[in-house]
Amino acid sequence: MAASGSAVGLGNIWGFPTNAASNGGAAFLFTYLILAFALAYPALMAELIIGRYARANAVTALRTISSGNKTRLLALLVGFIGIVTVSFILSFYGIVSGWMIAFFFDPVARLLGASQLSAWLTNDAVMRNSLFVVLFMLLTIYIISAGVKEGIEKWASRLMPSLIVILLLLIVYVLTLPGAMDGLRAYLIPDFSLIADPSLLVDAMGQAFFSLSLGVGTMLIYGSYISSNENLPTIGSLVALLDVGIAVMAGMLILPAMYVALASGVEIYDDSGGLIAGPGLIVSVLPSLFSTMGAIGVFVAIAFFALMTIASLTSSISMLEVPVAYAVEHHELERHRAAMLIGSAITAISLIIVFNFDPLFDLVVTVTTEVSQPLLGFAFCIFAAWIWQRSEILEEIKKGCPEVESGIFWKIWPVYVKFICPVAILVVYFQ
Ligand code: PFF
């Protein structure tokens, strides 16, 4: 539940549907499904297995499976770049998640007749953004301070079922509204002429890696908390299936909602004629739609932004856990202190971005998710398949899945992470 919570986030509910909308609808969906299962799932398995074997954070784990000084140095480098990358991802993710909390309170304020407060909550200002990123980061720090069992596991198993219920209710409701079927059509009817478009491939791979939280040590550290009796290939498939399933379902909410908005007179296209996909979608198109719905719109808005906040929180805790686990295990810092110190440092970075939004926000997003994450995913595949002993990998998986050697997973996965994944990641990357 915790690993699925990490995977399911803004990337699924916002990133996936808008990527699909601007990349030929089902053509993107189709490519995404292939890349998620063919490239991201094997990379996810590599992280989970390394983590469970080493029972440690990424730096220590990669060093444990390395032999020789050069590979140990490389392990240190990859582990560290992962920690830095995930910290920067959290710094921008926290800002966007802060907006989600502000928009959650907006309908509540309107319900109470506080129209000035409502205007303040929805106005994109430095003050509001600073306050809400701090609030969101405090929630994240609070859960991580409480520890793996009392914090991460407890909250993931409370929040994830709520997320699924809210998502389902919203889909059912939105699909009954006029215009929704046009949205479903735009989403599900493929424009196959776009399928060989390099930008579609790059977007789909970036989306798959971001969505499964890969390359930065999150899944590795969660892997290190999984009991030896658990069947890793099954757990990995469940996480991937849930992640992809929720992304596909979110598409069935967001795109129909956009066309319902269009039918109610809300502008959903940008100046270049494409569907509005950036922040405007969540903070302008959807709230305008909710306000056309009358009284029920208030509750739909509360449900939608609760969904977004929950999705963000189960992902942000997994991000903060990466540097915190490293500090606790490697520098013997007390968990509470580590969460506070590291969480505050990341919040400070977020505030720097908030105060310099235009030059910094897109830059941090691009460098972390489009440059760093795929390269780190590549490095994890190299560690799992080329540096680590194959017999040790098999022993590790066998602990919770004694029959693995005769199954399909062991026939395909080792060859896959060794040759196909690294080459495919590089090919798509250099496209
Ligand atoms: N998987 C999350 C999402 O789809 O929103 C984002 C994410 C979480 C990225 C954790 C990286 C990470 F380590």
Q: CB under 8 Å to 405, separation ≥6 — which residues?
A: 394, 398
Within a 13 Å sphere around the CA of 135, how many CA atoms are in the beta-carbon half? 15
Give the per-residue pLDDT at 274.
Answer: 81
Give the per-residue pLDDT at 335.
Answer: 97
> Distance, CA 212 to ligand 1 centroid (Å)?
6
Phi then psi for residue 56, to 5 deg, are -155, 170
Give the per-residue pLDDT at 367.
Answer: 93
Give the C-alpha separation, 24 to 27, whole Å. Answer: 5
From the CA of 217, give the closest atom in ligand 1: 13
> Distance, CA 143 to ligand 1 centroid (Å)?
17
DSSP structure string for 346-383: HHHHHHHHHHTHHHHHHHHHIIIIIIIHHHHHHHHHHI
Give the per-residue pLDDT at 292.
Answer: 87
From the CA of 219, give the closest atom in ligand 1: 13
Identity at 328, one-letter amino acid code: V
Give the per-residue pLDDT at 100.
Answer: 96
Phi then psi for residue 287, to 5 deg, are -60, -35
Name the packing angle between helices 295-330 and 335-355 (round to 10°).
120
Give the per-residue pLDDT at 298.
Answer: 93
CA angle (180, 255, 291) in 5-degree steps = 70
> What is the maximum span of the chain, computed from C-alpha positions, in angstroms?
67
Give the C-alpha separation, 399 to 49, whole Å. Answer: 11
From the CA of 216, give the closest atom in ligand 1: 13
Pocket test for ligand 1, best of 88, 89, 205, 221 (most atoms within 8 A of CB): 89
Pocket test for ligand 1, best of 83, 319, 373 (most atoms within 8 A of CB): 319
From the CA of 10, give the closest atom in ligand 1: 5
Residues contacting ligand 1 via CB (< 6 Å): 6-7, 9-12, 86, 89, 210-211, 213, 216, 218, 315, 318-319
Residue tagged 């990379």 (tokens):
43
Give the C-alpha separation, 383 to 348, whole Å. Answer: 33
From the CA of 210, give the closest atom in ligand 1: 9
Does an H or E element contain 55, and which?
none
pLDDT by residue, tens only, the chain of 431 residues: 899 999 999 999 999 988 887 787 788 888 899 989 888 899 999 999 999 999 999 999 999 999 889 999 999 999 999 999 999 999 999 999 999 999 999 999 999 999 999 999 999 999 999 999 999 999 999 999 999 889 999 999 899 999 999 999 999 999 999 999 999 998 888 877 877 788 888 888 888 989 999 999 999 999 999 999 999 999 999 999 999 999 999 999 999 999 999 998 888 888 888 888 878 888 888 888 898 888 899 999 999 999 999 999 999 999 999 999 999 999 999 999 999 999 999 999 999 999 999 999 999 999 998 889 989 999 999 999 999 999 999 999 999 999 999 999 999 999 999 999 999 888 878 87
Give the per-residue pLDDT at 306.
Answer: 94
Pocket test for ligand 1, best of 19, 93, 309 (most atoms within 8 A of CB): 93
Give the per-residue pLDDT at 302.
Answer: 94
From the CA of 7, give the closest atom in ligand 1: 1
Q: CB under 8 Å to 16, separation ≥6 — which residues?
A: 32, 207, 211, 247, 248, 250, 251
Q: Whose CA is nearest to atom 10 of ligand 1?
A: 213
Q: Whose CA is nearest to atom 11 of ligand 1?
A: 213
CB neighbourhood size of 352 (10 A): 12
Q: Whose CA is nearest to atom 7 of ligand 1?
A: 213
Give the per-residue pLDDT at 300.
Answer: 92
Q: Whose CA is nearest to atom 12 of ligand 1?
A: 213
Does an H or E element contain 60, and which?
helix 58-64
> Distance, CA 418 to ligand 1 centroid (Å)?
24
Residue 275, helix vs strand vs coil? strand
Please, are residues 20 and 29 in contact by the beta-carbon 8 Å criterion? yes
Q: Is the CATH code 1.10.3470 the one for domain 2-430? A: no
From the CA of 318, give the closest atom in ligand 1: 10
CB neighbourhood size of 300 (10 A): 19
> Distance, CA 54 to ligand 1 centroid (Å)?
22
> Distance, CA 279 to ligand 1 centroid (Å)?
18
If 0-12 CB within 10 Å is exposed, 13-18 middle and 19+ buried, where does residue 44 land? buried
List, for residues 138-172, the tens digit of each pLDDT value: 999 999 999 988 999 999 989 999 999 999 999 99
From the CA of 215, give the closest atom in ligand 1: 13
299: left (phi over 0), alpha (psi -120 to 50) or beta: alpha
Residue 265, helix vs strand vs coil? coil
Please, are residues 425 and 377 in contact by the beta-carbon 8 Å criterion? yes
> Distance, CA 388 to ligand 1 centroid (Å)?
26
| The CA-based dihedral angle spanning residues 354, 356, 362, 363, taken in that order and rounded to the nearest 10 degrees | -120
Pocket test for ligand 1, best of 309, 318, 324, 380 (most atoms within 8 A of CB): 318
> Distance, CA 7 to ligand 1 centroid (Å)?
5
Give the C-alpha separation, 422 to 386, whole Å. Answer: 11
> Distance, CA 6 to ligand 1 centroid (Å)?
6
Evaluated on CA atoms 362, 364, 365, 370, the torsion sign reads: positive
Length in residues, the chain? 431
